[in-house]
């Protein structure tokens, strides 16, 4: 894989992490269950860290930060939002796993590995929330 294709995937990751951060901020506001709040806040914090790591990696690889479009996730109910989060986290873990096989430089390994394993952890947290909802 050439580095241009990797950069395009990295730009998608940057946009997705930004979107997830704001999605989780909104989702967290829809519950007052302390465990749910804790789990969502943990994922939200990680997504911000992933966004910052990926932006820095983009800068290292291209000399500039990526200006991404800002998207909002819509959901009608808390349960629908949790299910969307769960699916997104599982998809992100696979996306980052696949990117690990396409590294243009060793500098990309650590942020992708951290994000991949965090996304797997988030999916467990969201699965726990989803399975406890009526």
pLDDT at 107 over 60: yes
Buried b / exposed e along 67-83 (16+ C-beta atoms within 10 A): ebeeeeeebeebeebbb
Report the C-alpha gap between 71 and 64 in whole angstroms: 21
Structural contact between residues 14 and 58, judged by C-beta atoms closer than 8 angstroms: yes
Q: What percent of the chain has pLDDT over 90?
A: 91
Residues 45, 46, 51, 52, CA torsion sign: positive
Question: Structure pTM?
Answer: 0.94
- Distance between first and last Cα of the chain: 45
Q: Report pLDDT for 16.
A: 97
Query: How confident is the model over 101-112, as a mean pLDDT?
Result: 93
Show Cβ contacts of residue 129 under 8 Å, excluding neighbours closer than 6 positions.
Answer: 35, 36, 39, 40, 82
Structural contact between residues 29 and 80, judged by C-beta atoms closer than 8 angstroms: no
Model confidence at 2, in pLDDT bands (50, 70, 90)? low
For the chain, list the domains and their CATH numbers: 3-65+72-132 (1.20.1260.10)
Query: How confident is the model over 8-14, as a mean pLDDT?
Result: 97
Hey, is 42 helix, strand or coil?
helix
């Amino acid at each position: 894989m050439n580095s241009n294709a990797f950069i395009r995937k990295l730009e998608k990751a940057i946009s997705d992490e930004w979107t997830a951060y704001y999605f989780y901020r909104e989702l967290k506001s829809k519950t007052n269950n302390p465990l749910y709040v804790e789990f969502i806040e943990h994922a939200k914090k990680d997504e911000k860290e992933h966004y910052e790591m990926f932006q820095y990696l983009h800068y290292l690889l291209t000399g500039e930060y990526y200006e991404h479009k800002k998207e909002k996730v819509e959901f009608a109910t808390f349960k629908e939002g949790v299910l969307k989060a769960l699916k997104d986290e599982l998809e992100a873990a696979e996306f980052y796993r696949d990117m690990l096989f396409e590294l243009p430089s060793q500098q990309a390994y650590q942020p992708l590995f951290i994000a991949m394993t965090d996304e797997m952890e988030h999916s467990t947290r969201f699965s726990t929330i989803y399975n406890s909802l009526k």
